[in-house]
Structure 1
């Protein structure tokens, strides 16, 4: 048993400055859950970030541009980078935003005949690296040994994943959880044996990116925490095993440089596209002793212009009235047809009169 870090339940915070808290919460974790008593020796990049947590030096626009450049979907890294992270007390708006960035390992026990061969555990051949096979409802983010991530719960979702958080719902949402895939071995049901190095460069790189994402979404750098140290006195965990703070720090430096370079490149493009100012017109200096006097312009004389007499317009001549058009003469065929029809009508009348008689 090692001394736990003191937690102020009323303030929902561990004691001390962010640097002091990290030195306590990142103490080395040994097999069987033994934690070093000495405070952690924080590496330079992490120390500088926690010394001024509000000085991010990274914008959401830069971060989004970096993710797009790298071909990383925001849905795989905790959700939209423009969204806030969750609040404590089950996402109570009056409670503080999540403050702690918890680092776990999955402690997946290898099967019979399997070992820590890097050509096996660090490849897709090992089932532990398959995103689709990772259990649901355990964490916020999974990171495989190939550096691939899966969002189990978004950063906007309050979630408990340690024994420390279980007693009170006020702690739900105070911690963001990250499971690094790691195989384990041991006799019987034990799994205290772990590979050394414990994690791959790809995992450190992606964990560094997750730390930047979480900090930018919060608006301040978060305090990193080892799961085992957090659960001291209330749990029996021993993760993460063989976590290399220096390797993670180097990955943080590389990631931050890459994200910040996105803005630098944008600035250069804007400057290159900016229109150049027109050149000033050069004027010759005047010689001493010579001055030019402006000549007064003579007033213009008004010249009377004779108007031309207006032309008399002649009255319009009346056009002769048109004679009414004569109706068209009936054609010979039409007249003959009418005459013939008249004869038939007369004969018909004569026949009818005979019948009546």
Structure 2
């Protein structure tokens, strides 16, 4: 969710009073997890990067706290993935899922520059003055689960997933993205080649006189979490390595005009589902 300060004012403040360059040069360090614009990596080992990038995001983007990272994930991040295309395709066929809805045709290692799997929430649609979330938001056909009308995301992110577990591909995992999806990428465009991005539809409540900061808990529906886990495995297959997952807020932490997403992600559930899918793929 974008803060309420208009972008034009933010740019003026940053340029005039803080003396921060509008475009970071090579050799700069960006964000709270310290993205190096020379190496195109965050600080530390893949495991240490995962711990920083998956900190639980506080409401309103007021900070983030370290949370336990399941061993299954820590044992894989940054390492070669040994799943085969035929295995993954067999899993998709068994579950009647098309690869066109998961970032494009299956291949192994054709998106080899990708290192980070960025998890976003849309922070919308908004429910002004609502006192509770509709119980139907996880059901197929609910109006908040539409996969059309997201034209503003179509050249920035790779995939969008609804709470009822459907997904739509905007850009192939290996495609060059015309626009940036994080502040790090805005400040250093070359960073785009190491990130893939997945938006997750998350309806928000907008309290009177405020912005839409209240999110459901859990933040993602069960079917949505399942599809996000599968997307992670497919994107890693395309990269040829297990990607390092990251929450949007943690990438841009400390950079002006930041976001508060994703809210209320059940990390343990997401990783458990990825582990189960990997096991089923190998079967």
Q: TM-score, normalised by structure 1?
A: 0.65
- Report the Cα distance in structure 2 between the residues aligned to 1:199 and 1:111, rounded to whole angstroms: 17
The number of residues matched between the two structures is 247
Distance 1:100 1:22 in 2: 10
Q: Which runs of 4+ in 1 moved over 4 A?
A: 83-87, 112-116
CA distance in structure 1 between the partners assigned to 2:262 and 2:132 by the alignment: 16
SS in 2 for 1:150: strand
Aligned equivalent of 1:298 = none
CA contact (8 A) 2:111 2:240 kept: no
| Counterpart Cα distance in 2 of 1:118 and 1:251 | 25
* Contact 2:215 2:263 (C-alpha < 8 Å) held by counterparts: yes
2:115 pairs with 1:99: yes
Aligned partner of 1:208 among 222, 225, 229: 229
Q: CA separation in 2, counterparts of 1:77 and 1:115? A: 35
SS for the counterpart of 1:258 is: helix
Task: Please report the TM-score for the alignment, with normalisation by the length of structure 2.
Answer: 0.81
1:36 deviates by 2.8
Superposition pairs of residues 152-231 of structure 1, within 5 angstroms = 152-159=170-177, 160-186=180-206, 187-188=208-209, 190-231=211-252
Report what 1:48 is aligned to.
Answer: 75
Aligned-pair CA distance for 1:134: 3.1
Q: Which of 83, 87, 97 is residue 58 of structure 1 equivalent to?
A: 83
> Unmatched 5+ residue regions in structure 2?
1-30
Query: Which of 110, 117, 137 is the aligned partner of 2:126?
Result: 110
Higher Rg: 1
Paired with 1:17 and 1:241, the residues of 2 have a C-alpha distance of: 25
Structure 1 unaligned segments of length 5 or more: list them.
Answer: 88-96, 262-357
Given the superposition, is the C-alpha separation of residues 79 and 116 from structure 1 closer, same or farther in structure 2, using an over 3 Å criterion?
Answer: farther
Indicate the residue corresponding to 1:236 in structure 2. 258
In structure 2, which of residues 134, 147, 161 is the aligned counterpart of residue 143 of structure 1? 161
Say if 2:64 and 2:250, in contact at 8 Å, map to a contact too. no
Alpha-carbon deviations, 1:210-230, whole Å to 9, x = none? 111111111110100000010
Match of 2:19 in 1: none
Q: CA deviation at 1:165?
A: 0.5
Q: Tell me the secondary structure at the aligned position of residue 187 of structure 2.
A: coil
> Which string of whole-angstrom CA distances, capped at 9 and with x for unpartnered residues, describes residues 266-289 of structure 1?
xxxxxxxxxxxxxxxxxxxxxxxx
Q: Over aligned residues, Cα RMSD in angstroms?
A: 2.0
Please state how far the C-alpha of 1:24 moved relative to its aligned partner.
Answer: 0.7
User: What does 1:1-357 correspond to in 2, within 5 Å?
Assistant: 4-37=32-65, 39-50=66-77, 53-54=79-80, 56-82=81-107, 84-86=109-111, 97-112=113-128, 116-135=132-151, 136-159=154-177, 160-186=180-206, 187-188=208-209, 190-234=211-255, 235-261=257-283
Alpha-carbon separation, structure 2, partners of 1:126 and 1:146: 9
